[in-house]
Amino acid sequence: MRHSQIRPKVTLVGAGPGSKDLITVRGLNALKQANIVLYDALVSKELLTEIPASTPKIYVGKRCGKHSLAQEDINSLILEKAITYGHVVRLKGGDPFVFGRANEEIDFVESFGIPATVIPGISSAIAVPGGQGIPMTERGVSSSFWVMTATKRDGSFSQDLKYASQSACTMIILMGVRKILDIANEVSRYRGSSTPFAIIQNGSLPNESALIGTLGNVKHQILNLDTSKAGIIVIGDVVARHPSFFEEEVQRVICSQL
């Protein structure tokens, strides 16, 4: 393609929670039509195989403090590749607008006159607990849910954590696995130590795992938890709907009487 024929544009695509078959049809079509793809850490390798082999793919992920590129560098790279290649697909885990910093990337490229569109993705915040049989809402139990990050940029707890703890909502906490003990202590101040929780890692993938328990027992239950892996924390009475919760509860009662 001659330079004069290149028409730069950017499409932000939500890849869904992990499994390659949970991307939308529209999102998959955009991947196949892309001239170049910039993808995140939470995008599965299996999904990348759906992209034509001739299409360049660049990893720009961020995981547990190990950043491939700073956000400002990612913005510049998107712009550079759009000018060079034409259609850039920015592939993000989950949904681009759920803690995906999509607005920053859109604003940046549009400030240079390059059009940007968004193809929504299935948010892991809802889909992953649902795959484990944990509903976000249930009549008579929880009438709402609150999706939040555990901490702010400076490492302190978000006020949302406190406010959500004081309500009866289902709490979905992203990017908080490494602070689970602190989170459990904070939430227990308002909800009590018997409140159920779940930590789900590798959601929707073959190696998905779920740790189910109560806040008062977190310290013992996370002994074998790999905190270097991303995960979703769910706190609330709806977690009792998980198939293994009753079995785990029986074991906790037996152990407490020994």
pLDDT at 151: 80
pLDDT at 150: 82
Q: What is the mean pLDDT of each run of 10 residues along the chain (258 residues)?
A: 75 97 98 97 94 97 70 97 98 96 97 98 97 96 94 83 95 94 95 96 95 94 91 97 77 49
pLDDT at 155: 78
DSSP string covering 115-137? -EEEE----HHHHHHHHTT--S-
pLDDT at 254: 41
Q: Has this prediction a pTM greater than 0.85? A: yes
Q: Biggest alpha carbon distance in the chain?
A: 78
**Rounded Cα–Cα distance for residues 89 and 23 (Å):** 14
**Rounded Cα–Cα distance for residues 147 and 137 (Å):** 13
